Every structure is written in C-alpha cells, then in structure tokens.
Amino acid sequence: MTLSTAAFAAPSDPILATAYWTGIGALVLTLLLGLQIIRLRLLLRARQRRDARALARWRPIFNAVIVGETPAGLPALSKAERPHFIKLWVHLQASLRGDASDALNALARRLGVERDARTMLARGARTERLLATLLLGHLGDRDSWDTLRTLTASPDVTLSLSALWALVRIDPHAAAAYLTPLFIERDDWAMSHVAGILKEASAPVAGVMADLLPTLAPERLPRALRIAEALRIDLPPAVLADAMASSDIGLVTGALRIVATPAARDQVRGLLAHADWQVRVLAAKAIGRIGDPSDVERLAALLGDREWWVRYRAAQAIVELPWLGPDDLDALHASLTDRFAADIFAQVIAETRPLERVA
Amino acid sequence: MSAQPSVLVVEDDVHIAHVLSFMLERQGYRVTHVADGRAAVQHVVSQPAPDLVLLDVMLPYVDGFEIVGLIRAQAGWESVPVLMLTAKNTERDTVRALDAGANDFVIKPFQPQELLARLRRFLKPAA
C-alpha cells in the first residue's frame, strides 16, 4: 500500500471506521445538496428568462390594446407563455377599468385563452386553477358557472373565495341569490373577504337581504346586519326598527351601525340612555349622522358618561355636526362644568383642528 | 422648457408604470419614472421640476402624501400640478391627497382615457 492510498483507506478500528463513513456520508450529502441548489438556481434563471421573453413579446401588445389600438395580427400564444400571459393579463385587469378592461377581454378572446382557462379550471394544478378563476371572472364567462360553483365548496379557502368572486363578476344577480345566504351562514369567512366579494353586487344583495331578513333565525341576524353595514346597504326601516327594539345587544348594535335615515331618530335617541355602554357608543355615532340641532344637548350630556368610549364618540359626533363651527365648539367647551367632559371634548377638538387648518 | 411637456411618474407597480409610460409617451410627453418613495424624494430635491407629477399614494418607504407635501415645500416645485392615483373605496385617502396639496386624483382601477383627460387639463398638448 502506498502512502496516498493508505491515507484514504477505511480504518480498521470500529469507532474510527464509524467516524470515517459518517464523514464520507456527510460529504456526499453536502455535495448533493450543493448540486440541488445549483439545479434550483438554474431552473429559476431559466424561468426568469422565459418570463422576460414572454413579457417582452406580449407587453407591447397589452399596451397597444389598453390605449385603444387593435393589433391586426397577433402572435400565437404558446403553452409555455400561457401562465405568464394570464398573470400579466389578470394583474392589468385588476388595475384598469372601462374601455381598457374591455379591450383586454377582447384580446383574451381573440387568442382563445378562455378555452384554455376552462381546461385549467377543471384539471389544472392549484396555481393554474386560481389564475383560471380570476381570468374567467374578469371575462364574465358564463360557461364556467357550474365549475366555479363546485369550486366554492373547495376546502382550499383561497380557491373557494376566488370562485365566489368570479361568480359575482359573471352574474351579480344570480350570485347574490346564491351567495348572500351562504355568507350569512359561514361566519368563519372574514367580513373583509365577504365585503370585497359582494361589493360589486351590492344592489342585488340588498334585494336578497330584504327578503331574507324576516325569515332568518335570530342568531344569524347580527351577521346579516354586519354584511349590510360593510356593503352600505339601506335596509327597510321596519327591519331596522325591529332590530333596535330587540333585547339582543348584538342586534341593536348591528342596526345602529347602519341606521341612516332621520325617520329612526326618535328610536335612536331613546338608546342614548341604554344600560349597555356599547349601545350608547353606537347611538351617539348614529345621532351624529341623523340628528338635528336639538341633539347637541343630548350628545353633550353623554360627554360626562362613565365610559371613556361613550364620551369620545359623543365628542366626535358633536365636532362632526355640520351646523357647528369652531366658535360654537369653543363656546360649548367653555360651558362644560364636568372635568371629564371638558377634557374629552378638548382632546377631540385638538384631533380635528389640524385637518381644518390644512383644508 | 423643452417642447415636450415632461411628466414625472412615481409608481411602484412595474407593469402599471409601463402602461403609464407608454400612454404618456404616445401622447408626446417626456416621461421620467421612479419606482419608490425614497427615489421620488431624491428626485424632487435634486432635479428640476417637471411639468406635471403623476403620483401613486401607496409607495414603499415614503408614501404619496408625504411626497406631495415635499413637492409643495420644494423651491421651484411649488406650483407643479400633482395628479394622485388613489385606491378605490378609500375616500379618506382622496380627501387627504387634496388636503396635502394634490391638484386632482384618479381612482384605481383607472380608465386610461380618463387619466389622460385629467392630465390634459394641466398640460398643453405636446408638440
């Protein structure tokens, strides 16, 4: 045995042999990991090059159609370019509206992208299905209605919410009838998502909601009122009056959040003295929206409430009353004898005055 | 001043920035694009004023409200028309933009033709 081969031979001692082979194993694993990192980097670069090529090819066409031009001939959209095309198309659709949005739809139809998207929706991987959902929603593709409706029951929340959004885009009236009861039922879906999806169908949702509210179980009513609030839906006055007369605090506060007509003024005034402080907070805010000059005195009385939030909201409501100018507010502040009332009123005036000066 | 009116576009979304630049250059305007709030601040303090600033509200590092305030305080830039791009359903942002000194605003998602029409109110047609 030469000196060099002896240096690489496995030792005969079992402990040394174990250490030797462990070292060899670790070295091999490190080399494999290094090779994998290099492979991933090469794949990433190749993908970035494909992205850049697709963007360079399609961006001028997108720009042209967005400004109202109709390219005479279009290049073929290869399968490899399709995801990049759809990603950019969806991104631009989310940022544009009107003629530009219609022009993007026309471009997608000329290229037959909606047919590819229907296939992606039915059989694609998750990312492809998400992209297809967004594309078909923007296109208002009625042929995808049934598939999208099936997807709304997917355990994948992102996919199901995207499918719900697409249904609203395709047919707001049909979607409102289907989605409104679903959204009231599914209180695990965040209100921001619900409002974001339904906002483009707020008129049909208002109609569905008005029919639905009298039939809803009491425990579902607060959620329904929150949806109405988020979508700024005007509910029938009788529905709101019943809710404000309820013994359920959730219902009363839900109705106070959306009440917006002077017809409800007397009922709201009655709630300014409610035993629950959350009701008093929202009643003060509501009076700020629908009150008349006689309500200044009622709101001023709440400036001395035992709850800080009631005092704060009452002060905000007074300061935002359109018929009170800075001099009126200063006079009211000077007339306050309760220290807590004067403090909270001074704070709210200070919070609003910088904006007035800028304006 | 050059024959071509100049527009400074402050927009962090690269795809929208491409669309805006294409639209404006096609109308004959000279476009300078900066992609974030910090670069915009650097541009405002170191470069001559353009004929108009098209300014997004939501920007990395420094938001559009601060930048419009800086523009109004910067010598030579005080009277540059500023058109702000604000997000839909954020009326408060719109009020803040006007309060901060913006001349007008366009709500995103936007209509390119509407944006150009609003821009033309402040700029003479390009040669």
* Tens-digit pLDDT profile for residues A141-156: 999 999 999 998 888 8
pLDDT in tens, B90-104: 677 788 888 889 999
With contacts defined as CB-CB under 8 Å, which chain A residues touch B99? Answer: 355, 358-359
pLDDT at residue A174, rounded to an integer: 92
Query: Residue A337 belongs to a domain with what CATH number?
Result: 1.25.10.10
Q: Is residue A47 part of a domain?
A: no
pLDDT greater at residue B2 or residue A316: A316
Segment A240-269 shows an average pLDDT of: 90
CA of B29 vs chain A CAs: smallest distance (Å)? 15
Residue % of chain A over a pLDDT of 90? 58
Q: At A278, phi and psi to the nearest 5?
A: -65, -35
Segment A50-66 shows an average pLDDT of: 91
pLDDT at residue A352, rounded to an integer: 81
Chain mean pLDDT for chain B: 90
Residue among B22, B26, B108 whose CB faces A95 most closely: B108
* Residue B100 forms contact with A (CB below 8 Å): yes
CATH number for the domain running over B6-109: 3.40.50.2300
pLDDT at residue A5, rounded to an integer: 61
pLDDT greater at residue B90 or residue A304: A304
Q: Do A68 and B89 touch (CB under 8 A)?
A: no
B55 forms beta bridges with B10, B84
pLDDT at residue A162, rounded to an integer: 92
pLDDT in tens, A161-204: 899 999 999 999 999 998 888 888 887 788 888 888 888 888 88
Segment B32-46 shows an average pLDDT of: 96
Number of domains in chain A: 2
Q: Is residue A133 part of a domain?
A: yes
* Domain limits for position A298: 264-359
Chain mean pLDDT for chain A: 89
Residue A342, pLDDT above cutoff 70: yes
According to DSSP H, which parts of B2-127 are helical?
A: 14-26, 37-46, 64-73, 91-100, 112-120
Segment A30-50 shows an average pLDDT of: 94
* Residue B107 forms contact with A (CB below 8 Å): no
Residue A8, pLDDT above cutoff 80: no
pLDDT at residue A3, rounded to an integer: 53
The first and second tokens of residue A157, run together, are 């929340």
Residue % of chain B over a pLDDT of 90? 78
Instruction: State the best of A63, A92, A169, A197 to mutate against chain B, taking most chain B CBs within 10 Å.
Output: A63
Residue A10, pLDDT above cutoff 90: no
Q: Do B100 and A97 touch (CB under 8 A)?
A: no
Tell me which residues of chain B, numbers 29 to 88, contact chain A at a CB-CB cutoff of 8 Å.
none
* Residue B110 forms contact with A (CB below 8 Å): yes
Segment A350-354 shows an average pLDDT of: 77
pLDDT at residue A72, rounded to an integer: 82
Segment A243-268 shows an average pLDDT of: 90
pLDDT at residue A7, rounded to an integer: 62
Of the pLDDT bands very low, low, confident and very high (cuts 50, 70, 90), residue A359 is very low
Q: Do B55 and B84 form a contact (C-beta atoms < 8 A)?
A: yes
**Rounded to an integer, what distance in angstroms lies between the CA atom of residue B114 and that of residue A295?**
43
Using the 3D structure, point to which of A145, A166, A187 is the last residue of a domain.
A166
A to B CB pairs, distance under 8 Å: 51
Q: Is residue A131 part of a domain?
A: yes
> B125: exposed, middle or buried (C-beta count within 10 Å: 0-12, 13-18, 19+)?
exposed
Report in angstroms the alpha-carbon separations of A316 from A252, A278, A311, A345, A347. Answer: 21, 16, 9, 8, 10
Q: What is the ipTM of this complex?
A: 0.90
Residue among B16, B23, B100 whose CB faces A67 most closely: B23
Side-chain-side CA neighbours of residue A159 (13 Å): 19
Residue % of chain A over a pLDDT of 70? 96
Instruction: State the best of B31, B72, B85, B99 to mutate against chain A, taking most chain A CBs within 10 Å.
Output: B99
Instruction: State the best of A96, A200, A355, A357 to mutate against chain B, taking most chain B CBs within 10 Å.
Output: A96
Q: Do A91 and B114 touch (CB under 8 A)?
A: no
- Residue spans per domain, chain B: 6-109
pLDDT in tens, A111-120: 999 999 999 9
